[in-house]
């Protein structure tokens, strides 16, 4: 039997795959991303409109950013872990050379994808709640910019911690020079954050009358 629930040797291999310190380190990026998600969710849900001021960009940007964090995780997992198979969650610690080591990495990949699923689901809920309201500034640039910010934040946090500090994997494990790939990954992350900020900043300069298209709905 190859399943985790019915293969005792595989269960034992997963249980001893990481030391206590490594296990704590593995969850540090999840904690950082979870705290960032909670902060953004609060920013999206706690916003109170002031009829005397232009509509705020903050709720939609924050919600899209949460969704971007989750989707960024899925992009990383689908592209690098599954399609290209350049790395897995702990492939620098446990080299996937046989069935057991590959399965252990797949288990931790599953934990990673479960986390990104919940972040994505939370982002969808935030967007659904906010887009029902008429007191929000809604613009595609805010949505796309927020997505890019979230994707970039995910890449930076995951890349700095997992690639450089804890060294659980590189972007392309077992390459002649994995550092180049890791630095390129961070550079790309910074670029999409800058692009996201640019798209969001453009909306700041809309004429005042474009901020409020539904003033009759504002109490």
pLDDT tens sequence across 33-53: 999 999 999 998 887 766 666
Environment class of 124 (CB within 10 Å of its CB; exposed 0-12, middle 13-18, buried 19+): middle
Model pLDDT, residue 2:
61
What range does the domain containing 186 cover? 4-217
pLDDT band at 19 (very low <50, low <70, confident <90, very high): very high
Confidence of residue 68 (pLDDT cuts 50, 70, 90): very high
CA distances from 199 to 69, 139, 153, 157, 194 (A): 17, 10, 16, 22, 9
Instruction: State the pLDDT at residue 217.
Output: 39
**Span 92-115, mean pLDDT?**
94
- pLDDT, average across residues 121-146: 85
Looking at residue 199, its pLDDT comes to 94
* pLDDT exceeds cutoff 90 at 129: no
Residue 179 has pLDDT above 60, yes or no: yes
- 197-213 pLDDT, tens digit per residue, is 999 988 764 444 454 44
pTM for this predicted structure:
0.88
Predicted pLDDT at 106: 94
pLDDT band of residue 216 (cuts 50, 70, 90) is very low
Query: Number of structural domains, the chain?
Result: 1
Average pLDDT, the chain: 88
Q: Is residue 174 over pLDDT 70?
A: yes
């Amino acid at each position: 039997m190859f399943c985790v629930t019915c293969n005792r040797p595989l269960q034992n291999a997963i249980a001893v795959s990481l030391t206590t310190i490594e296990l704590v380190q593995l969850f540090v990026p999840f904690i950082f991303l979870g705290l960032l998600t909670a902060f953004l969710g609060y920013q999206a849900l706690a916003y109170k409109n002031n009829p005397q001021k232009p509509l705020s960009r903050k709720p939609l940007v924050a919600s899209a950013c949460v969704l971007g964090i989750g989707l960024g995780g899925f992009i990383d997992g689908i592209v690098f872990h599954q399609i290209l198979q350049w790395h897995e969650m702990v492939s620098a610690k446990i080299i996937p050379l046989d069935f057991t080591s590959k399965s252990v990495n797949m288990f931790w990949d599953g934990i990673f994808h479960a986390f990104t699923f919940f972040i994505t689901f939370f982002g969808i809920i935030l967007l659904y709640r906010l887009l029902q309201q008429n007191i929000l500034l809604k613009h595609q640039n805010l949505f796309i910019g927020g997505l890019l910010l979230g994707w970039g934040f995910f890449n930076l946090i995951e890349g700095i911690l997992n690639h450089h500090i804890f060294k659980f994997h590189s972007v392309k494990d077992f390459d002649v020079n994995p550092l180049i790939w890791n630095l390129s990954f961070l550079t790309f992350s910074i670029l999409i954050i800058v692009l996201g900020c640019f798209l969001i900043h453009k909306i700041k300069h809309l004429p005042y009358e474009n901020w409020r298209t539904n003033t009759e709905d504002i109490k």
